[in-house]
Amino acid sequence: MHSNTSLAKAVFLLAAAAGGPAWGHDGPHGPHGPVPTPVCADLANNPAWGLVGNPYVTNLTAVLVPATATNLAHCQVDFTDVSLAGSGWGYMHGQTSKIRVRVGLPLNTNDGGSGGVQGAWNGKIQSRGNGGFAGNVSAVTPAVNGGYVGTGTDTGHNATITNPIPNPNAPPATVEAPPSENGAVFALNTDGTLNTGRVMDYAWRGQHHANMWGQIVSEAYYGRGHTRNYFVGCSDGGREGHEMAQRFGDEFDGIVSISPAVHWDRWGFSAGWGNYVANQELGQNGLDAAKFRDVNERALAACDPIDGIVDGMIQETRLCTYDANQAVCGQPGASADPAVCLSAAEAGVVNKIWDGPRRHHNGKKLWVGWERGAQGVIGITPAATGAPNLFGEQINRYWVHKDPTFNWRSISEEAFESEQRKLTQLFSPFIGSDSPDLRTFKRGGGKMIVSYGNLDQVIPPNGHYNYMQRLFDEMGGVSRTQDFYRFYVFPNATHCGGAGMTENVLFNALTNWVEHGVKPAHLVAQVNPTRTRKVCTYPNTPRYVGSGSTDDEANFVCQVRPSDDPALLRKEAGLLQGSGPLHGDHDIDKRRLQHGHGGHHHAGDD
């Protein structure tokens, strides 16, 4: 949200006392004349600008990064945030947060910037989300190139710290063990206990701190506050965007969330369901990748005509009911190549993969499966090569069992549900980012655009339909929800992109909505060089008008619907729900970060 000018005033007085501030000739003005502003290097050398000497800041650098063929010149500020300490914040005794933060600043007037409200800055902030288990500082140049102050973070752990040990349950040959921070092991202490402080830093605190630091540093560098505060992320970054809306909703003007992993505690483990099934029913070598690819190609071809247009796209994958038994060797619709047609047992496994895990006692769905037609899904790695799913399997191994050498193959189909339930019970409050209560975000005027590709190969996309029903119920219905939160499903798009689902399309629609009040009734996807397609606001659907090229989005209209198709929703009603989010922010605010006090004196601290 819009900032105040308190820091600018404080910086004016600090800089005047320190002597020798830089003065931008066309910079901001205060009540006593021009507000002093630094050059980039001053941010790491002069205490007047608020970072040097702040006890919460270590490893501070500030350098001018020259322009390249693809990126604009900017001031890059890097440091480690150690503002939180001790057991009161979930760490071990003597530990602090170690959130690496990067702030990318378009050049101010002193450093030669021009064309913006101050230097090259457009006056706005764009925080950049992470992916997977994070552990690397997210890039800020996509924001800076657009004139925004960009913020990035590793969310409090460093994936380059590794400690591979022999795996007695190979393959794979080795697994990571503490003090490694590569993958989910970052949250496992060397004594075998779980570090909930590191989990919370990963879940929401790291990104929140990066954004707050972006506000603080930009105000010092430009001598003025920001006018808009945005967040953009995909996958885990999309989950982080939902966390920002749920926990800190009054701080953000707009959020783009692409392929969001909001059901982290459910989809991560359940996405690997297929490998548990394949290991039990087919043996350690699992399901051959070529066979899974072929049967998905056949499903896509069989279901392509459902929407009335044969174009290699399925508009609504939930309507596709192709049975893998049609691809069994010798069947009329199967491949004649014995290397890719299926055995009856393999067809049974594929159907279970598409269906998803079910409750053992009543057969109802526990979680969603993969969509027919999706290629290269990460949950179907042949068992001979290692773990079934990088994400959920690691959380179950390191966070639930707390055992780096835990053998995932020991989990049977019958035991899968209890494993999933335990994981959700323990970690939904931390990484279940699917709270439908977005009242604070809505009250503050925030706007959110969310998208999925219906052939996502990393996160089964249909879980978000379930979330949307809960959101509609909580926030007063479809129309009232669409006043601030809009969801778009891109046909044939995959994880984080493809088929015209681009960050630019989504973010441009968001800023037009936030800054000009233009509600995006639909988006336009550039599916390929010769095809555009309307993507309607959920639950509306595109309908061909009956004439003109089907490669031109202008020949489609969005059919307004009061709700989703009840028959489709019934198929996946009653999915496992979490107990999150963890009550309270479990964080400190910008004022305490800025002045370097508060985080080391939390109630219950060591």
Largest CA distance in the chain: 86
Tokens 């975000």 correspond to 441
Q: Is 182:162 a contact under the CB 8 Å cutoff?
A: yes
Model confidence at 1, in pLDDT bands (50, 70, 90)?
low
Q: How far apart are the first and last CA of the chain?
A: 35
Quick: pLDDT tens for 222-242.
Answer: 999 999 999 999 999 999 999
Q: What percent of the chain has pLDDT above 90?
A: 83
Domain boundary assignment for the chain: 6-226, 268-426, 439-571
- pLDDT greater than 60 at residue 471: yes
Q: What was the pLDDT predicted at 412?
A: 95
Please, which residues bridge with residue 126 across strands? Answer: 150, 230
Q: What confidence score (pLDDT) does residue 59 get?
A: 98
Distance of CA 563 to the CA centre of its chain: 26
Its pTM surpasses 0.85:
yes
- Whether 333 has a pLDDT exceeding 70, the answer reads yes
CA atoms within 13 A on the CB side of 226: 25
> Could you tell me the sign of the dihedral formed by the alpha carbons of 90, 91, 94, 98, in that order?
negative
- Whether 404 has a pLDDT exceeding 90, the answer reads yes
Q: How high is the pLDDT of residue 13? A: 37
Which residues have CB under 8 Å from 156's CB, separation 6+?
A: 97, 98, 99, 100, 198, 201, 202, 205, 206
Q: In Å, what is the CA distance from 171 to each residue of 283, 384, 385?
A: 13, 6, 6
Residue of 305, 321, 356, 345 lying closest to 550 (CA atoms): 305
Amino acid type, 306: I
476 near 441, Cβ under 8 Å? no
What confidence score (pLDDT) does residue 388 get?
66
DSSP per-residue string spanning 340-367: TSBPHHHHHHHHHHHH--B-TTT--BSS
pLDDT-derived band at 15, boundaries 50, 70, 90: very low
3-class DSSP string for 512-541: HHHHHCCCCCEEEEEEECCEEEEEECCCCE
Quick check: 531 pLDDT over 90?
yes
* Average pLDDT over every residue of 184-197: 97
Quick one: pLDDT at residue 286? 87
Average pLDDT score over the chain: 92
Cα separation, 311 vs 6, whole angstroms: 57
CA 536 to chain centre: 22
